[in-house]
Every structure is written in C-alpha cells, then in structure tokens.
Structure 1
C-alpha cells in the first residue's frame, strides 16, 4: 500500500492528504525519506564533476524535500494534538535527525566542495541572492563544526544527539504537566467570575470528563481566572501550579534537563572556538554580542522597574482596602490590576470581550492585509489535520499566493502558546512553489453554537502570528533557505510585532469590533478608552519579560551554572526583581530556550525587534495614513518579500533609511516618562 506521506500529492494546492495519513505511516515514511536524503547528500559529496554553484550549492538546496514533507506534517500534528504514540515517535526521530544533521555538516568531502566554490566565488558571476546563499551555506557549515579537527568531531556528534534528546524531553514534560493538572471548582467558586470564564471552565471540565468546571493550565483559562477570581486562596493555588510546571519532582521535572543542557551547550561552543554559547549564538544576529543585548535590556529595565514599583504600591493599597494586610503577592497582581484598569479607564473585560469575536478579528487581519498588500482570502472546504482547523486560499490579482491555515482553539494535547510555521515554504528553484502557512493559537473554545470571544491580548496575539504568516506568504525569493522567516531571530519578530499596530487603528476597530449578540460596533467612547489604556500595566509586562531575557542571557554568557535555579535567583536578586512579579517564563518551563533551543540566549529578540517595529509603524504615521500604499509597497519590497537575501540591517535601512534607537521602544511602551 502506498504511504500517503511519500506518494505524489493529489490534494488541492499540493497540500498533504490529511484524511489518508495515520500514525502508522510516519515511521516508515521517515525512514524512507531519511535514507533518500542521505543518498542525495552522498551523491553531491561524491560527484566526480568539479564543484560549482549548481552542482553543489543548488544541489544542497534541492535535497531533502521528501524528508521535509514528512517532518512538516509530523511535527504539526505532534504539536497540536499530542498522543503517547506521537510522543514516542518524537523521541525516536529526534536523535536520528541530530545524527543526520551532524553527518552532513561534518562530511569532509561535501565541505571541501563548498569551500572550493566559496574560494572561487569572484569568478562565478553570481546574482546577489546566489552570493548570499553561498555565504550563508558556508557560514552554517563552519559554525556547525565542518572545520573541526578529527578529535573534536566524535564529541560534537554525541553532544548534538544528546541535546536533541533533552529538548524533546523538556517539551514533553512541560506538555504533560500542563495536560495533567486541573483544579476542580464548586459552584460557589464561580461566584464573581464573568460568564465567559465560567463557561470556559465548564468546557474544560467537559473535555476532561471532570463532571464539573475546572481550571487548567491553558493560558486562555488560567490568566482570566487569576484576573477575575475574588478568591485569593484559589488564585494562589492556581498561580503556584502555573509557575511550578516542569519543577514538580518525578518523571516530568525539567531541572536536571536544564543543567545538562546548559553544560552541553557551553561545551559545544568551546569546541567550536567560542568564548560562550551566547557569543556563538549572537554572532549571526543583529545584536552580535552579549554586551549589546545586555545594554538594550538594562536601558529598558530601569524605567520599567520604576513604573512597576509605583504600580505595585497602588495595587497593595487596594489589597489592604480589601482587608488583606499584604504584602502584594504575584497571584494578586492580575486581579487588582484589572480592578484598577476598570476604575481608571472604565474598561471591563467582560463588557469588552463580546466586541472581540474571533471570526471578526480574523476578518480584520485579512482586511488589513488586503488594504496594505492587495491580498484576498477565500475559505477552502478541505480536510485538515484537526476538525477545529480551517483554511483559506490567498490570492492577489487572481494569482495564487499561499494557503493559510488557522488552528485557533486550546485542547489538552496541544502545546501551549502561539506560533506560525509552514508546511511548505516559498521558493522558485523547483518551480513556482507557493507556501502553506499555519497559525496556531490557544484561545478558549466556546460552547457549541456560541461565538468564540477574545481578550485584547488574544486579539493582539492573532495579529502577531498573522504578521509572521505575511512574512511567509509575501516571500519572493529563489532559494528556500532564504525565504520567508529565514532571518536572524532578532529580526524575525519585526513583521509580527509591526502587524500588531494595525489592530489599534481606530477605523479597523470601528469596522470589525462588533458585538457578538447585537452586531453593533464598539461604542466610540469604549474604543477611545481601550486605546488610551494600551500601555496600562506596561511596567509589569516589561519587567516580567526582561527578567526572563536576562536570566536566559546569563545562563549562556560564561561558564554554565552548576545549579541553574540558584543562578536564576541570583540574577533576579541582582536586578532587584519586584517581589510581586514573576518571570514570564521561569527556567523549568522556559520552552523558548530549552525545548529545542531556537531562542536560547536570544529571548531578548522580541525587544530588539520592538525597537524597529515602533519606528517602522511611525513611517505610516509620517505618511498620514496607516494604509499608505507607498509605505506598504516599501515594507513588502524591502522586508516582507526579501526573506534572508541580505543582512537585516541592510533590509531595514532600505525600508526606513536609518536604524532606530531605544527611544522609539520606550515611547511605544509609554516608559519614556518613567523615573
């Protein structure tokens, strides 16, 4: 029987045939595709013809398509609908992939061919994109150990394999902790909760067969519970469970994994000739050095901390007025901040949420993309990876641009957070290949027949991830390795964070923020108050982020800590972390850094990109129109369509004419006047 993961695709737009794919198909497809890719790499390395750009660099670009097709489907379903079978497959695939990747980069014959092409590049008459691809390929091989002496290669192989195993275990432990913990609620425990929170708790209980409402560790449920529950004892219990993920002891405890991971990363960096893992990682980022990252974070830390401490004094007074002597605790902050927001800005999230329907916010994101870039979105009736997912064809002037998939609702087997990925990336080397892009979120799923309602933060998340999707959908390059989001980490968040700004455009809210029951638009005074409160509680939000980023940087900038939890405590003490604010991601559940390591020593990237996104949106302000066509064309040409075809500084300079300073970020967060 033909394996649908390996057979030629016959589904619309060359999408995977999800309806035909079963878990039993993944392992044989993986083994076959991996063997095929190994053969392709061997053929390139042993090619008797003299190495040139086409038979070496472009040949590498063409290799591995079958493996990519299998893994893109597998890692999607494993992330959004995890099962014990899929977790076992992840554990089996991870070390094999690490071994294969190491085999490629340490293939001496292959690297000799790449180096020959590199040394002769001046005579090759390469296009700018070809020259960039050659530079990136060679750089990546060197950074992965291709130039290592023989004695270091065996150790590097072992380190890479073990790190892959640890990253997989970290993520699966975190998912298990999030999936398995619930806090049952009696009817009286629902008192004081808005209807949408009580409804979400009932739905979560029904999904888990709990026989009644429960609080889970899904962000879309636990954060509103902390925000609205008047029961301080329940808030404390929920908060402690939320922050204890990955640190509960037993088989899902991540602390030993963190210790070993940091030690292996440091050893790997030393093998490759770097002073630290952070120095190695940041070498190819915009920041370049750990010192530059620390300078940015501390420039924002001081005004953010001052604002947060002033806010904490106000909230502690509110706590005392409720009969609690204090001090203000982390499980109090969301509750009293929401009460303060309601008092100072007359904003009640229970009244606001009916105006932020998921479907209307999706329409808003699509409409902004249409007005800016001419994209049109047509719903598709096709089988996808889960019944909750939906898809659209994306076109421009009748030309097919992409397939966009949205998977928006939380479920027990779904990885927490929100992200954008591609089942297929844009490229032209193998023909005109347009991307299949997916946004994954974890919004609370409504009861049958009810509209899904978002918080303001949820709506911002939707726009954020759609900004990443636009980076993929508007990509217009020849080589997949340079397409879409294939850019440095501290540049990749620019399109996503920039797109959040359009949610705040008054005319967008006026049109799309309509009441779920009456259909009436959000009242003008509510809209004004909402936008006026955009920077409310920004001291808290900035402090919790920077604390995580500084701990991440400290872990990787220098010798690895023998006790990461002690080091975390020391870093927080050194910066004077306010006692009532926790890290956004404490070490045992810091998936950005330890579940695969994409953001290891680079969690700061969101803030580095924010320096640019505030300045980039100002270009539209200066043009006098948030949908100014000239500015939108420049944004697409120099950033969204360009992928990694040039250094990010050059791309931003081409768009804006200059690089911004931290002042734009402080102003955007309302911290420019903080003490």
Structure 2
C-alpha cells in the first residue's frame, strides 16, 4: 500500500498566532535540524539529530512560509499567467513538504505517545491550512483566469495537464462553493482528519495488545519450529516467564492458522483478529465509522454528488461506480465457484479425520495447507529456508539490474537511520549517475502500523534546472529472525517484497518537471507494484535467488515445478476474500442517506447481497478496515484488482517475447509509465506502453477463474 502524507496549516489560525520565530528562541531554532542545511550524505534526513520536539515548530514555520508564498502569488500586480500563477503555485510548500514527509513516515513506523499527541495537533493545523489554500478566493480567481485561457497559451501537453490538475483540484476541494458551504466543508474536513487518526490509533492499540498465550506444549502440535521459537521470544518480550505468545501480526498468526492442530486455539486467535476494535470499549471503532461515513456523505452532497464513491471515483480511471461494480461482479461468480470447489475438497479431508460439520473460517488455512500437501506435495514451511530475506532482496535487486542496469550499494553504515533495523541502499544507473536512495524496514514493532507500504522522505523534483533525486522508504511486517535462524519468508511475503519495490521503482524512476503532475489516479497507483509481483516466482528467477540458507543449495526443479503447479491453488479463497472487502468498501461509500449505521447489520446485508460463503471472512472487516477509514483508499480498495488487470496484461508484453527480462520492453515500461508520474492520464500511459487496451484474459488465467 502506498501512502503519501502532505501536511500544512490554517491561515486563519496563523493570522492570529505569534510568528514561530518569535515564540521560539534563536537557540531553539539553531538546534532544530529542520532549520539547518542537511549536510548528510545524499541529503537524507539527519535522523540521529531529529527529536520529537523539533517537528511542530518546523511544521508551523513551513506553514508560515507557504502562506507567504501564496500571498506573493495573489498580490502579484501582473496579470495571471501560467508562469506567475500555475508554476509559482506548483513551487510552493517546499520546506513544509521536507518536514512533513519525515514526520509522516516516522509516525507510521515508530510512533510514541509523544508523537501521537503531536500528530493530533499537526492534523488539526494541516487540515485547516489546506482548506485556507484551496478555499482562497483570490488564488482560485487567478488560477481560473489562466485555466479559462488555456487553449490560447501555447502550452505543451504536460503543462496543460498541470493546469488542469491544479484547477480541478481546487474545484473538487470547494473553491466554487458559497461562503456558507465553504465553512461547512472546513468543519467536515477537520472532523474527518481527527476521526481518521482515531481509527488508526484504536487499531494499532487493539492489534498490539491482543495475543494468545499457549502454556501447554501439546497445544503446539503441528507448528514448525521457527513459529514456536518466535512465539517463545514474543512471550518473553511481553513479560511472560513461561509460554508461547501468538499475536495478530501476520508472521505470527498465519503459521498458527496453517499448522496448529488445536482447532479451539485457532478459533481463539482468528476470532481475535476478526473482532479487532469491536469490543464496545475505548478502542471500539463502530462509532468512528458512523461519523466518518455520515460526514463523507455530507461532504459529497455539498460537492453535488449523490454519495462519497461517486465523488471519489470521478477522479479515477474507473470514472463511475457502475464500472467498479461491473468489474467486481464479473470476477465474483467464477471466484465463488472456485472457492466452493476448494471448500468441498477441504471438507472431505476434515471429515475423513473424524471431524463432522462444515469448514469454519478458522479452519481454512489449516485444511488448505493439508490440501496443498495432498495435491501438490508442497509444504510452505519446507520452502521457507530457500527464501532467506537478504538473499530474496538481492534477487529482487538483481532483477532490476538485468532489466534497467541499476547498481546498488549498501550504505547503511554511512547514513543516519531512523531505526536500528533499517537497511539502506544507494541506487545508480549503469553509467554511474545517481537514481536515489532506498530505506528498508522489514519487521513488526509495537510502534509500527500493520501492513506494508512505500512512501518517500523526499520526492523527485527539479530545482534551478537540477534534478533532485528521491529518497524512498519501504516498510513491511515480515517474519523476524529467531535464535540462530535468519528471517525466512513465506511465499506471500516474497510477493509483498516485490510488490512494494514496484512502488519504490515508480518513485525512483520519476522524472517530472512539475510536482503537480507527479501523482497518478488512485486506481493506477497499484499498477507498478502489481506488475512486479509477476517476476517473484518465475522459474528462471527462482533459480537465480532461491537458495537454502544453510547449504546454499539452489531450489530444485522439483520444488519449482510444485510451486508452478500450485500457482492457482486457493485462488478462489484469495479472490473471494478480497472481493468481499472491496464490495463492502463500495457499499459503505454508496450509502445515499445519512443516519445511524449498525455496523454488524450493514456487513451482514452487504455479504448476503452477494451470497458470500460462510467459511470465508472478508480480508478486512469494518472495524479494522484501515485502508478505507484511515489509509486513503476510501471507495478505492477495488484498485488492486483494477490494477491487476493492467499488470497481468502488461507482464504479458514480456512473456510474449520469450524473455521475461526483455530490456526493450523494460525500457518502454520505464519510459512510458514508471518515469511519467501523472503527466498524462493512466489509460493513455498504459496504451502508450502496451500499444492496445488491456485484456482481462491474463488476469482470469493467472487467478484460475476461466
């Protein structure tokens, strides 16, 4: 998941405030690294010097600077032009972006109570500040003046794209509303900003506190040694002198669900996962969801749309909600059929073991693993030793060297890091020119939010004609090392590693003259990440990097054949659980009338509408659906499957040549998509790369849905 955080502050609040430099002593500012030139290698943030108390003064200063930059535009006596209004606006907020990108990244990976308190203050200020800019009548008048003359200005396609994106951005943020409605919009956005933080904070706390403590070793039967060792260490970390602690972090939970013979404990752990933030206590998210959905609906109607999804999707490739429901519905029927077949096969195994009844949600991983072993003689735990984290990462980097000539150097010891677990790489072109820097953060911590994502400490830009290279951050929650056993990845984690670096490459390869065209449509964001997943388990790739961590033995052809044969295994389940969450998201965001939402009843209606199988829970239930209530994917969880259609077809461009590393196709992928950002709409970029519209056929084949 890609998360980019931009932070800013209210001009109304600032107007009444004493200037920051008057509030803070010169000594305080002198000691604040954000007010100093960063002389670190590559200009990375001086993490070793940055303290929590440095963020707020620097963010406030950044807001004052941006306000001054906006004032300079609107007070310019010259008539509005593309350069003095559009380009000038595009160049505002540099200092603020510098500070906020660091703050946003750190609060995602290493939050503390102190940072949480600062985050709440920054969120309030940021929302008001963005509103003051987007609702500034004088600024919008100048922008509109240029926009109305756009066809007579001799703009090139990228300049026209920038102008249109800026104008429509202001329009979609209320610039055309009456003053009364603008005030309503301000209040709604302030409330939504706070509620988003509340939702994420509740989930982080609830997720981190829950665990199942196993004290009887017979209850560990079936579990691999690596899982047992990790649980023993987790118990100690939680202050338990004896026992084994299994948490809701996926590296702990999923092996337990796959291998633990104790059905009751599997139920206990999975129920804990499903019921996160649903306990009618201080971390319960049901009331938060009610407020978010009602406020989003109020906001959508204020903007002239019938529901939040209609407003959100208008700006995406999909354009309307009908197109999304059509895609999800088209995949639903074959996925449901395949899942039913999988369930019947697992039920036969369960019944043969003497357990009557149906497969339950906490049974699926356990019996699907047994089914995989029975059908394909493939045990995922036997594969883990071939996917040691560092070797798998090196395989991924080598792939990009083959495709684009990239060269990597481990610079972890030469640069400041924000956490001792970081690994940092310099990335250069084949000719030695700098591409950028990548920070990696692999394992779960109590201070880190769940999931995996890519963001930036610094985005690519141009300054005085010189290209500023990006500093990218990739964050995961992978299986940790345990004892003398290094971090060994599951096949799913391998896919996630390739996925997130697809986002990373999108940032590293970016080459945009204007910041305002760097962003792409929400349903195109996942294309670079989804296409990179295709290489992870290709036989040729596996032979290059999958080596036993102890013996160095290359993965055998027999194992590769088993992986390939099992490629379609459990795809019914994986597709159904994903589609259930996507449909739930769309159902929430197509609510047309305000009112109290009974979250459980709403979920049940949504699932019943699609005849969801009882044995499969959605990938995310409402109270912990962070993507849509706190992560920027509102009415947008569908984007993964939308992008996967493009990615499967886009990967076929390599496969059709008989060379999965084909440098000419790789060059075209980089030049037509990965370097272009949002300089054209996503479908245009894709057609330029592929030479045709995307076909759904490769996706249907890759998921076994034909």
Fold shared per TM-score above 0.5? yes
- The C-alpha deviation readout for 1:455-506, integer Å capped at 9, x for no partner, is 00000000000001001111111112322xx111111111100001111221
Report if aligned partners of 1:196, 1:350 keep a CA contact under 8 Å in 2. Answer: no
Name the structure 2 match of 1:444. Answer: 479
What secondary structure does 1:540 align onto? helix
2:222 aligns with one of 184, 192, 206: 192
Matched, 1:400 2:434: yes
Structure 1 counterpart of 2:106: 77
Question: Following TM superposition, by how much is the alpha carbon of 1:558 offset from its aligned partner in structure 2, in angstroms?
Answer: 3.5
Query: Which of 573, 586, 608 is matched with 2:621 structurally?
Result: 586
- Match for 1:506 among 539, 544, 549? 539
Contact map agreement 2:347 2:359 (CA 8 A) in 1: yes
Work out which of the residue numbers 128, 134, 151 in structure 2 matches 1:99: 128
The change in CA–CA distance for 1:284 and 1:188 in structure 2 (over 3 A counts) is: same
Give the deviation of 1:172 after TM superposition. 0.5
Unaligned runs of 5+ in 2: 1-26
Report the equivalent of 2:368: 337
1:134 aligns with 2:163: yes
Separation of aligned partners in 1, 2:115 and 2:442? 21
Q: Distance in 1 between matches of 2:440 and 2:499?
A: 13
Superposed displacement of residue 325, structure 1:
1.2
Given candidates 505, 508, 516, the residue that maps to 1:473 is 508
Gaps of 5+ in 1: none
Q: How does 1:645-660 map to 2 (within 5 A)?
A: 645-660=679-694
Q: 1: distance between equivalents of 2:290 and 2:352?
A: 44
Matches within 5 A, 1:485-634: 486-560=519-593, 562-563=596-597, 564-596=599-631, 598-634=632-668
Aligned partners of 1:634, 1:208: CA distance in 2, in Å?
51
Q: CA deviation at 1:578?
A: 0.5
Deviations 1:584-628 (A, max 9, x none): 0101000000014x1101110000111111111111111110011
Distance in 2, Cα, partners of 1:413 & 1:326: 41
- Listed as ranges, the matches of 1:110-129 within 5 Å are 110-129=139-158
The CA deviation at 1:42 is 2.1
8 Å Cα contact 1:6-1:66 kept in structure 2: no
CA–CA distance in 1 between the matches of 2:485 and 2:364? 30
Secondary structure (helix, strand or coil) at the match of 1:502 reads coil
2:672 and 2:685 in contact (8 A); partners too: yes
Choose which of 308, 325, 329 in structure 2 pairs with 1:298.
329
> Who is 2:459 aligned against?
425
For residues 103-124 of structure 1, the C-alpha deviation after alignment (integer angstroms, 9 at most, x for no partner) is: 1110000000100111122232
Structure 1 range deviating more: 610-619 or 423-432: 423-432
* SS of equivalent residue, structure 1 residue 404: strand
Cα distance in 2 for residues equivalent to 1:415 and 1:38:
32
Partner of 1:287: 318
* 2:477 partner SS: strand
Contact 2:34 2:99 in 1 (8 A): yes
Aligned to 1:145: 174
Distance 1:251 1:44 in 2: 46
Which residue number in structure 2 is paired with residue 178 of structure 1? 207
Residue 632 of structure 1 aligns to a residue whose secondary structure is helix
Matched, 1:669 2:698: no
Distance, in Å, in 2 between the alignment partners of 1:139 and 1:649 is 19
| SS of residue in 1 equivalent to 2:460 | coil
2:445 is aligned to 411
Question: Which SS does the other structure have where 2:442 is aligned?
Answer: strand
Contact 2:408 2:428 in 1 (8 A): yes
Deviation at 1:667, TM superposition (A): 1.2
Secondary structure (helix, strand or coil) at the match of 2:305 reads: coil
**1:456 has 2:491 as partner:** yes
- C-alpha separation between the residues in 1 aligned to 2:269 and 2:359? 16
Contact 2:91 2:515 in 1 (8 A): no
C-alpha displacement of 1:86: 1.3
How many angstroms apart in 2 are the aligned matches of 1:530 and 1:249? 44
Note if contact 1:118-1:134 (Cα within 8 Å) is conserved in structure 2. Answer: yes
Q: Does 1:313 align with 2:344?
A: yes
Give 1:449 deviation, angstroms. Answer: 4.6
Say if 1:174 and 1:245, in contact at 8 Å, map to a contact too: yes
Shift of residue 202 of structure 1?
Answer: 2.0
1:429, CA displacement in angstroms?
4.3
Alignment equivalent of 2:379, drawn from 345, 348, 367: 348
Q: Distance in 2 between matches of 1:179 and 1:46?
A: 51
Offset at residue 154 of structure 1 (A): 0.7
SS in 1 for 2:620: coil
